[in-house]
Amino acid sequence: MDWYLRETTLIAASYVLGCLSTGYYLVRFRLGVDVRHLRSGNVGARNVGRTLGKSAFVITLVGDTAKGAIPVAAALLLDVEQWVVMAAMVAAMAGHIWPLQLGLRGGKGLATAMGALFALDFRLVLLALAVAGVAWIISRNTTGSGLSAVLLTPIVALFSGHATLTAASLGFIAVVIIFTHRSNLRVIIRGENIPFSEET
């Protein structure tokens, strides 16, 4: 029973941590408004940065990345089973994208996913960035490049020796991120340019 309590507490805490929307609370504290009503309506670093400046961009990016990294790092330190590690990652992502206290309207999850992936295996992040860099050189589209990297990461994980469960979990996360970026994706498919403020 002790192991069950530990695992469920870790997963629940991962969701709660994910719910702490850095950008939302930063803008709320500084301006007293809901950042989701400003510009692109996103709580991510880019929209917050365009609202409050470069320092706010950095704070939001670091905060959102840490929300993904901390639960995975904690799970690894506790030496739990791999499914618990991946469940903690998914829970943190779910909290970021669907925070209960904000009416299930959070961010798009890319920074949080990168933080979780870095804690899991930093080599996967480096490969993802390399893929995104090549895609950007070809397309000059930031969002499209990032989504290309997200889609390829589960495949890379599988062929680099990670367990099938890990690759499948990363695949699920990739599908979720594609879903949260669906409006941007429709624009890309139509061959139109995404406004810079809406790319994340």
Residue 116: closest CA among 151, 67, 159, 181: 67
Tokens representing residue 124 in the block: 């996967």
Distance CA 35, CA 152 (A): 31
How far lies 54's CA from each of 33, 127, 139, in Å? 19, 27, 26
One digit per residue, the tens of pLDDT, for the chain of length 200 reads: 566 788 999 999 999 999 999 999 999 999 999 999 988 788 888 889 988 989 999 999 999 999 999 999 999 999 899 999 999 999 999 999 999 999 999 998 889 999 999 999 998 888 888 877 887 787 666 667 777 788 888 988 888 888 999 999 999 999 999 888 777 666 656 555 544 444 44
Structure confidence at residue 145 (pLDDT):
76
Q: Which residues contact 44 (CB under 8 A, 6 or more apart)?
A: 23, 60, 64, 107, 108, 110, 111, 200
Distance CA 146, CA 162 (A): 22
Residue bearing tokens 């406004």 = 195
